[in-house]
Amino acid sequence: MLYSDGPVGPRQGRSAGLPIPLALAATFDPALAGEHGRVAASEARDKGNDVIFGPAVNIARVPLAGRTYENYGEDPFLQSRMVVPWIEAAQRTGVIADVKHFAANNQEGVDASAGLVTSQTPVGAGLEGNRMLSNDIVDERTLREIYLPHFEAAVREARVAPSCAPTTGSTASTPARTTTSCSRSSAANGASTVTSSPTTGRRTTRSRR
């Protein structure tokens, strides 16, 4: 199975310069979101891929988050209405959509080494607070009302499973627990596709004795 990023089309050689999803959200046009998803997925398929890592539906929380442009703004209802047609159109091309990143992947912290450590380590490594590692503490109500509705819409309405980031915080005591909950929730709500983990976020879900 071959994968390709992402929310604005495949990152493999030349591809169409699609509008960023943040601009797409500003149109308030679900049909246009579907066309965006169709084009992105068609190109991913034509380049030999089975899965496209998109759409990205994290809430725009702080303006300095470097991947905010890949998402659909700060309104969970608007995100929900845009993401469902994007996924449905994408999957009609024969490519599996992978909605991401579950959940609360909304900010970038401060690297205490001013970039020195991160610049000398592999992607995904580094100090807590950089883009690849943060401590997100979110209470249950906030998760349900702001950070999860669009993922729920993707799973319930578009029947797709999310990319499950290993989030820690008040609702998940371990990364494995969050990823397991993500997988079980997807299956319980009718998702008919596989659940994936981020490249650097794989963890075992086996019980430790």
Higher-pLDDT residue of 114 and 97 is 97
Residue 129: pLDDT over 60: no
What's the pLDDT tens digit per position in 52-83? 999 999 999 887 777 889 999 999 999 999 99
Closest to 98 in 3D by CA, of 36, 201, 16, 191: 191
Q: Which residue has the tokens 């996924």?
A: 87
The alpha helices in the chain, defined as continuous H runs, are 21-25, 30-46, 76-91, 116-119, 140-142, 149-158, 175-188
Residues β-bridged to residue 162 = 99
Tell me if 204 is assigned to some domain.
no
> Which H helix or E strand runs over 51?
strand 51-53
Higher-pLDDT residue of 81 and 122 is 81
Tell me if 198 is assigned to some domain.
no
Number of domains in the chain: 1
Tell me if 206 is assigned to some domain.
no
Which tokens hold the place of 159?
Answer: 């029947």
> Any idea what DSSP says for residue 68?
G
pTM of the predicted model over 0.85 = no
Higher-pLDDT residue of 185 and 115 is 115
Tell me if 146 is assigned to some domain.
yes
Tell me if 34 is assigned to some domain.
yes
Residue 153's CATH number: 3.20.20.300
Residue 44: pLDDT over 80: yes
Q: Containing domain of residue 155, as a range?
A: 3-188
Q: What is the mean pLDDT of the chain?
A: 78
Which tokens hold the place of 30?
Answer: 């679900």
